[in-house]
C-alpha cells in the first residue's frame, strides 16, 4: 500500500512539474506571438489630487487579452516577460501608446495631464534605454515633464550604481521618477535621499489596512510628513473607500489612486469618464 501511494505521489508530482513548465513555456510562446499580433493594449487609471479632486494624470497599465488564454493578469505574465527579456518590447509599446494617448488627451481636454508608466528593472540596466525614451518622446511629441516613470524597489537592490546614473539622465531630460510600491520588499529610507525621485507611491497593502489598524495610520501619516520634508510628492495606491480618502486628505497626501475613484479603464472608457466627470478637474 505504501509503495502504491509513493508511486502515485511520484506521478502526481511529475505531472505538476510538467504542467508548471508547460504553462510558463506556453505563456512565453504566446507572448511572442501576442507581440506580433498586437494583443497587448493599455488601460489607464486616474490619479486624483486629494485637496481639489482634480485629475493629476493617469497610470498606464498593460493588458493582455489572448484569444487562446483569455485575459492574463500582468501579475502572471510580467515576471515571465522579465525572465525572457520580452518586457523590453512590452514596456516600450506601453510607453509609446501612453505618450501618444496623453498628448491626445491634453489636446482634447486642454489640460496638462501627467502620464505614469511602469518600467521593469531590466530597462535601467540597458545602455540604450535613455535613447529609447528620447525617441518615444520625439515621435509622440510628448513633453518630458508630463512623463513619470515608475520604478520598484527591487531595481535598486539589483544594480544600484547603473540604475542611479540612468535615473539621473532621465531626470535631466525633465522626466519625473516615481518610486512604486513603497513599503514592500526591500524598502529602505536611505534610498529616498539617494534616488532622484519626485514622487513616492505608498503601496496599497498599507492603505488597505489603515482604517482598521492604528499602527498603519501612524506609519502612513509619518511617511507622508517625511517625504514632504524631502521635497517629494506622495501618491497613495489602492484607495478603495471614502474613509481612506478622507484620512489621506487630512494627512495631506498629495494624490490618490484606486478603485474608489476608478478602476483602470480602456482608452475609450477613459474619454467617456473625462467627459462625464468634468468635476474631477473643475471642483
Ligand atoms: P503597480 O504598478 O503597483 O500597479 C497598480 C496595480 O494595482 C494595478 O494592477 C492596478 O490595477 C491595481 N489597483 C489599482 N487600484 C486598486 C485598488 O483600489 N484595489 C486593488 N485591489 N488594486 C488596485 P495590475 O494592472 O494588475 O498590474 C499589476 C502590476 O503589474 C503593476 O503594479 C506593475 O508592477 C506591473 N505592470 C503593469 N503594467 C506594466 C507595464 O506596462 N510594464 C511593467 N514593467 N510592469 C507593469
Ligand atoms: Mg505602478
Ligand atoms: Mg504600485
Ligand atoms: Mg507592483
* Mean pLDDT (whole number) for 9-25: 57
25, 105, 168 from 92: Cα distances, Å: 23, 20, 19
Rounded Cα gap, residues 14 and 196, in angstroms: 48
CB atoms within 10 A of CB 228: 15
All three cell numbers of 201: 507611491
DSSP for residue 125: G
Q: What is the dihedral of CA 175, 181, 184, 188, to 10 degrees?
A: 30
Probe residue for ligand 1, chosen from 34, 78, 87, 96 as the CB with the greatest number of ligand atoms within 8 Å: 78
Q: Which residues line ligand 1 (CB under 6 A)?
A: 45, 61-62, 73-75, 78, 87, 91, 94, 118-120, 150, 180-181, 204, 237-240, 258-259, 264
Query: Strand, helix or coil at 72?
Result: strand
| pLDDT tens by residue, 67-100 | 988 999 999 999 999 999 999 999 999 999 999 9
The model's pLDDT over 151-203, given as tens digits with 9 standing for 90+, comes to 986 656 667 788 889 999 999 999 999 999 998 876 667 777 788 999 999 99
- The DSSP bridge partners found for residue 256 are 48, 236
Could you tell me if 153 and 182 are in contact, meaning their C-beta atoms sit under 8 angstroms apart? yes
What pTM value is reported for the model?
0.91
Q: Please name every residue paired with 147 in a beta bridge, in sequence order, or none if there are none.
A: 115
Is the pLDDT at 222 greater than 70? The verdict is yes
Amino acid at each position: 500500500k505504501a509503495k502504491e501511494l509513493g508511486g502515485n505521489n511520484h506521478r502526481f508530482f511529475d505531472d505538476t512539474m510538467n504542467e508548471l513548465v508547460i504553462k510558463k513555456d506556453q505563456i512565453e510562446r504566446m507572448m511572442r506571438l501576442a507581440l506580433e499580433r498586437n494583443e497587448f493594449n493599455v488601460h489607464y487609471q486616474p490619479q486624483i489630487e486629494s485637496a481639489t479632486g482634480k485629475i493629476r494624470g493617469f497610470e498606464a497599465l498593460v493588458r493582455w487579452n489572448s484569444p487562446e488564454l483569455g485575459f492574463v493578469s500582468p501579475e502572471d505574465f510580467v515576471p515571465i516577460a522579465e525572465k525572457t527579456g520580452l518586457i523590453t518590447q512590452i514596456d516600450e509599446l506601453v510607453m509609446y501608446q501612453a505618450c501618444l494617448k496623453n498628448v491626445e488627451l491634453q489636446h482634447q481636454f486642454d489640460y496638462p495631464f501627467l502620464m505614469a508608466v511602469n518600467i521593469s528593472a531590466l530597462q535601467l540596466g540597458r545602455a540604450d534605454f535613455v535613447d529609447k525614451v528620447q525617441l518615444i518622446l520625439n515621435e509622440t511629441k510628448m513633453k518630458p515633464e508630463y512623463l513619470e516613470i515608475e520604478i520598484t524597489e527591487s531595481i535598486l537592490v539589483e544594480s544600484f550604481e547603473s540604475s542611479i546614473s540612468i535615473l539621473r539622465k532621465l531626470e535631466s531630460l525633465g522626466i519625473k521618477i516615481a518610486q512604486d510600491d513603497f513599503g514592500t520588499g526591500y524598502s529602505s529610507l536611505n534610498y529616498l535621499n539617494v534616488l532622484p525621485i519626485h514622487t513616492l507611491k505608498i503601496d496599497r497593502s498599507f492603505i488597505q489596512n489603515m482604517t482598521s489598524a492604528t499602527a498603519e495610520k501612524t506609519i502612513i501619516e509619518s511617511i507622508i510628513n517625511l517625504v514632504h520634508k524631502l521635497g517629494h510628492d506622495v501618491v497613495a495606491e489602492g484607495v478603495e473607500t471614502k474613509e481612506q480618502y478622507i484620512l489621506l486628505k487630512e494627512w495631506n497626501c498629495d494624490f490618490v489612486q484606486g478603485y474608489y475613484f476608478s478602476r483602470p479603464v480602456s482608452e475609450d472608457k477613459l474619454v467617456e469618464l473625462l467627459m462625464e466627470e468634468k468635476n474631477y478637474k473643475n471642483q
